[in-house]
A = this chain, B = another copy of it.
Amino acid sequence: MAKDFTTREDNYSQWYNELVKKADLAEQSSVRGCMVIKPYGYALWEKMKSIMDAKFKETGHSNAYFPLFIPKSFFSREAEHVSGFAKECAVVTHYRLKVDEGSNSIVVDPEARLEEELIVRPTSETIIWDSYRNWIHSYRDLPILINQWANVVRWEMRTRLFLRTAEFLWQEGHTAHATREEAVEEAQKMINVYADFVENYMAIPVIKGVKTPNERFAGAIDTYCIEALMQDGKALQAGTSHFLGQNFAKSFDVQFLDKDNNLQYVWATSWGVSTRLIGALIMSHSDDNGLVLPPKLAPIQVVIVPIYNKLEQLPAVSEVALKIKKELEAKGISVKYDDDDNNRPGWKFHEYEFKGVPVRLAIGPRDIQNNTIEVARRDTLTKESMPIDGIADNVAKLLDDIQSNLFKLALERREQMTHEANTWDEFCELIEKGGFVLAHWDGTTETEIAIKEKTKATIRVLPFEYTPEEGKCILTGKPSHRRVIFARAY
Which residues of A line the B interface, CB within 8 A? 27, 29-31, 34-39, 41-43, 45-46, 62-76, 82, 86-99, 105-106, 108, 117-120, 127, 130-131, 134, 140, 146, 150-151, 153, 155, 167, 169, 342
Contacts and interface: CB of A to CB of B under 8 A. Distances in A.
A375 B27 CA distance: 55
Contacts of A117: 108
Given A31-B71, A69-B167, 6 more contacts: A31-B70, A36-B65, A73-B106, A82-B97, A93-B94, A151-B151
A150 B37 CA distance: 13
Contacts of A72: 97, 106, 108
Most chain B beta carbons < 10 A, residue from A42, A73, A140, A151: A42
Given A29-B127, A34-B68, A37-B64, A95 B106 contact: no
A269 to B, nearest CB: 17
A92 B91 contact: yes
A66 to B, nearest CB: 5
A342 B138 CA distance: 14
23 contacts: A29-B66, A29-B131, A30-B130, A31-B118, A31-B127, A34-B68, A34-B69, A37-B65, A39-B62, A39-B64, A42-B64, A43-B63, A72-B106, A73-B106, A82-B106, A86-B98, A88-B95, A89-B95, A90-B92, A91-B93, A92-B92, A108-B117, A151-B151
Given A95-B88, A131-B29, A36 B66 contact: yes
- Main SS of the interface on chain A? mixed
Contact of A89 (B31, B69, B96, B150): B96
| Copies of this chain assembled into the complex | 2
A69 B97 contact: no
Nearest to A105: B76
A142 B476 CA distance: 64
Given A89-B96, A97-B91, A98-B86, A68 B167 contact: yes
Contacts of A41: 64
A215 to B, nearest CB: 22
Contacts of A36: 64-67, 131
B91 A120 contact: no
- Which 9 A-B residue pairs are closest in the complex by CB-CB distance? A39-B62, A34-B67, A86-B97, A37-B65, A95-B155, A91-B94, A76-B106, A93-B93, A31-B67
Nearest to A127: B29
Given A29-B66, A127-B30, A96 B146 contact: no
Given A89-B95, A93-B108, A95-B89, A46 B63 contact: yes
Nearest to A167: B68
Contact of A68 (B62, B66, B94, B120): B120
